[in-house]
Structure 1
């Protein structure tokens, strides 16, 4: 099943978060138990070349490929899809116009303005029928507009109503900075959780998908109860640190 099909079936998708721009590292990450791998071009080190090369091992491992593009780089959204990504996350979508421009880059006409050229995407997904690929692409590709600011929350209904926007992805780190007027960063800030839940509920009520970055896995179930389906976690830095800490603790315990 495609990522879009699994989301429509109300499945919960757990995606690893890759910031190391190396296809071999991504291959190892894709071999773990995650449902998907997200390649981060905004704060991670991924670039066009690494995204092009890293999507292949993700798909080969039978996982879903997601790309977060840099702020305002809606042109890269089209590129990511042409490379074979199933979904794109666009950060800092703070207006309906931002959402419209993002959707235009994600969808083929008449829904959007994306140009034709699936040189890598079609063969990577096993498609040899260009017409079928064209007809199915708009439904298969998933566009997530990131909500991270007061401005975005204020126009959330307009973003959700924008044709071609398939979902909302909430960035709790930036959201907490906005919520506290720059006083702190706390992705699990209790004071903002009512609004986080409201964004999830409104997104699902609009028939769209909701995703969120999870810094504390112990509250992942709470986010699912709010309506969030895509849970992002597990960067290379986190996984290496956690694995090393566990291994060293066991080793040192054995040594007495």
Structure 2
């Protein structure tokens, strides 16, 4: 068997892992991000353009690029979560987990008996990990991560109960939705002080419960803040933002052409 260090190994050892985030359906974009040096790449099926086939292709390309494949599933789709683990995703992030019952149903979908209810057919996962069926069965429950998103008042109120679910590996904070919920929909303030206080309290409770903690960050400063709070999976960098920023920078380098082109054609670049 090819030796492989899993995302779960790194996070449990205390090593911070930075993941990029992908909305655009393309197998090549996540592979480029993996080859650029990201420790993990997350495919967003909740708000992104990915369907099942596109996600499976992306997971393979992320692994090919040397990073850990993560997928955020649509709300409540636990059956899909199990299928994606079969296809080689190392970590599933589940949005809008607001109760212990939500957390239990999600977590058990990712684990084999007696811990959970996952059925057997991990053919692609076995191929990507380089394990035999026997090795995979023995190690999969610890190698596969399920992170419940904490992003509402309801989730914060139920956090102790959610963290008490033994099958659940950890939590993942969505600061944007959390700020919307905390402000009763009046403000989108993921970087604000109230959101930061809530994020710190969530991390503290997760660590005290022996759970892993991840979070979405929108700046390098927030990444540093998150690591100091105890978060070990940190999202920083979005494919759509990368493309927009790079395009604007490239056009800025030839901005001197704008007047000439406009005068000649009556249009922009």
> TM-score normalized by structure 1?
0.95
SS in structure 2 opposite 1:195?
helix
CA distance in structure 2 between the aligned counterparts of 1:219 and 1:147, rounded to whole angstroms: 17
Alignment size in residue pairs: 255
SS in structure 2 opposite 1:31?
helix
Q: By how many angstroms is 1:234 displaced?
A: 1.5
The CA RMSD measured in Å over matched residues stands at 1.7
Aligned with residue 138 of structure 1, among 124, 136, 141:
141
Aligned with residue 193 of structure 2, among 187, 190, 195:
190
Q: By how many angstroms is 1:213 displaced?
A: 0.6
Could you give the per-residue CA deviations for residues 79-98 of structure 1, whole angstroms, max 9, x where no partner exists?
11000000000000000000
Alignment partner, residue 28 of structure 2 = 24
> TM-score normalized by structure 2?
0.91
Structure 1's unaligned 5+ residue stretches are: none
Alignment partner, residue 57 of structure 2 = 53
Is contact 2:175–2:195 with CA below 8 Å preserved after alignment?
no
| Aligned pairs for 1:117-156 within 5 A | 117-127=121-131, 129-156=132-159
Alignment partner, residue 170 of structure 1 = 173
CA distance in structure 2 between the aligned counterparts of 1:244 and 1:104, rounded to whole angstroms: 43
Q: By how many angstroms is 1:253 displaced?
A: 7.8
CA distance in structure 1 between the aligned counterparts of 2:222 and 2:248, rounded to whole angstroms: 22
Structure 2's unaligned 5+ residue stretches are: 259-269
Is contact 2:35–2:65 with CA below 8 Å preserved after alignment?
yes
Aligned with residue 81 of structure 2, among 68, 71, 77:
77
CA distance in structure 2 between the aligned counterparts of 1:171 and 1:219, rounded to whole angstroms: 13
Alignment partner, residue 222 of structure 1 = 225
CA distance in structure 2 between the aligned counterparts of 1:234 and 1:254, rounded to whole angstroms: 30
Q: By how many angstroms is 1:73 displaced?
A: 0.2
Correspondence 1:113 to 2:117: yes
CA distance in structure 1 between the aligned counterparts of 2:84 and 2:67, rounded to whole angstroms: 16
Alignment partner, residue 265 of structure 2 = none
CA distance in structure 2 between the aligned counterparts of 1:138 and 1:109, rounded to whole angstroms: 9
Change (3 A) 1:220 1:253: farther
SS in structure 2 opposite 1:124?
helix
Alignment partner, residue 43 of structure 1 = 47
Could you give the per-residue CA deviations for residues 197-246 of structure 1, whole angstroms, max 9, x where no partner exists?
00011111211111111112222111111111111121211111222233
Q: By how many angstroms is 1:119 displaced?
A: 1.5
Alignment partner, residue 38 of structure 2 = 34
Q: By how many angstroms is 1:254 displaced?
A: 11
Could you give the per-residue CA deviations for residues 106-159 of structure 1, whole angstroms, max 9, x where no partner exists?
1000000000001111011112x2122101000000110000111111111111
Aligned with residue 16 of structure 2, among 12, 34, 49:
12
Is contact 2:32–2:65 with CA below 8 Å preserved after alignment?
no
Q: By how many angstroms is 1:164 displaced?
A: 1.2
